[in-house]
Amino acid sequence: MLNPLRLLQQAQNLLASALSERDKHQHFFVSLALAMTFVLGPWGVAPALAATLGVGLAKETWDHFWGSGFCWLDMAANAAGAACGVLGAAWLGATLSG
């Protein structure tokens, strides 16, 4: 018999395993650094998010045609890094401005 809870646990384990790859960490931290740099520079939050995700999308598009293939989990890591970068930049900006 089909056990939905078991299927959910297996999916969670598979996702956790995929996201623990070194490559996903690289996507996350590069996106975090780009987003923080863009937000703390002359850009606002929306352009910083768009630019950061655009860089990640360009990288995945390159991978699609000439690399290992487009990976949605890489894009998820890019999005998570961009979001954390924006939040980190907002916190840092508020802390520095007193």
Q: What are the pLDDT digits (tens) for 28-83?
A: 999 999 999 999 988 889 999 999 999 999 999 999 999 989 999 999 999 999 99
Residues shown for the chain: 98
**pLDDT at residue 43, as a whole number:** 85
Tell me whether residue 3 is in a domain: no
Tell me whether residue 13 is in a domain: no
Tell me whether residue 11 is in a domain: no
- Residue 11: pLDDT band with limits 50, 70, 90: confident
Tell me whether residue 66 is in a domain: yes
Tell me whether residue 56 is in a domain: yes
Tell me whether residue 88 is in a domain: yes
pTM: predicted TM-score of the whole model, two decimal places: 0.78
Tell me whether residue 82 is in a domain: yes
**pLDDT at residue 5, as a whole number:** 79
Tell me whether residue 76 is in a domain: yes
Count the alpha carbons within 13 Å of 58 in the hemisphere toward its beta carbon: 7
Q: Is 17 exposed, middle or buried (0-12, 13-18, 19+ CB in 10 A)?
A: exposed
